Amino acid sequence: MTKPSSKRKKATSATSRDSTPPNDHDLEDISQEENPATATITVSAVEVTELTQEEQSDRLHLERKVERAFFEAGKALIELRDRRLYRSTHKTFDEYCLDRFGYNRSRSYQLVDAAVVVDNLQKCPQIVDILPTAEGQVRPMTKLEPQEQQEAWLRAVELASGKVPTGRIVKDVVQRIMERTQVPNTYQLGEVCQILVKDNPELRGKGGCWGIVSQVNNFSCTVKMWDSEYTIGLQHLKSYEYLPAECEQMQVVCDRINQVYSDSLEETVKSLLQSLGKLNRPYLTAVEEKLLSVLESEYGREITP
């Protein structure tokens, strides 16, 4: 009978120990553990060493590289295009840019145009250190003449308190310049015009060619040429002032050439069609008519004049 009594004593003893109120020291320890917000955090100071003169120079050099990345890309694209370094793998520059860099035609020429503008800005003695750092800052200025580009950038820098202006500031400045120099668009649909390059890289190879106005815009015209349609600023167009009947004749010639022309044609055939695209008269000679008819027959794209 003594064993059960012993077990009860142990249970009572355990209960007694559990119910013993904690002393003040125990409460202090619990309080510290359950309130981390009141804990003291020790932070060790880390000494930051100043950049050496060489490191400062390296940093500036690398920052300039980042800022000029779009400019260097545009310059490289210009050389790739002008030297036709894509010809061993691709038929056209546009196909090459899309396949190699993922750039469509629009993006490629945004970079090309931006490089041309920055080159022009660097020629201005007043523009020394503050140059565009992004293609978006340059894009609005591609619509202006070289002297106006320099004027627009200087004004934009001034509005930005001597810092690199945002694309929005540049766009607003360009808009005011365009409104100041706005010339009414007097071209008519179907009018035959000559293309004037005037430092526009997108029109390279089109100087002296003729095209037919297919759409009249505020500051430009969409012009159909022997290979495609292009939107061209008014400063790059000059009317041949042909009579309405002569314009209609050239419209027919343009349609015929356009139906035959393709980048996949042999170089000799393309050269012949390109030469027809530079006529400075509103008709084909007898020989030219025969040659074009042969090409239409050969490539199965003959249309009725």
pLDDT at 301: 53
- Residue pair 141/109 in contact (Cβ under 8 Å)? The answer is no
pLDDT-based confidence at residue 190 (cuts at 50, 70, 90): very high
pLDDT at 230: 87
| Residue 4 predicted with pLDDT over 70 | no
| Residue 26 predicted with pLDDT over 80 | no
Residue pointed to by tokens 């308190």:
161
Name the residue ranges covered by the structural domains of the chain: 60-180, 192-298
119-144, pLDDT tens digit by residue? 999 998 888 778 999 999 999 999 88
| Residue 16 predicted with pLDDT over 90 | no
Q: What is the mean pLDDT of residues 208-215?
A: 93
Question: Picking from 20-34, 111-125, 204-218, which range would have the lowest pLDDT averaged per residue?
Answer: 20-34
198 or 299, higher pLDDT = 299
Q: What is the mean pLDDT of residues 281-298?
A: 92
| Residue 200 predicted with pLDDT over 60 | yes
254: alpha, beta or left, given left = phi > 0 and alpha = psi -120 to 50?
alpha
| Residue 25 predicted with pLDDT over 70 | no
* Cβ neighbours of 231 (radius 10 Å): 13
pLDDT-based confidence at residue 38 (cuts at 50, 70, 90): low
pLDDT-based confidence at residue 11 (cuts at 50, 70, 90): very low
Question: Picking from 56-60, 136-140, 158-162, 222-226, which range would have the lowest pLDDT averaged per residue?
Answer: 56-60
Question: Residue 229, SS3?
Answer: strand
- Residue pair 147/181 in contact (Cβ under 8 Å)? The answer is no
| Residue 80 predicted with pLDDT over 90 | yes
Q: What is the mean pLDDT of residues 284-288?
A: 94
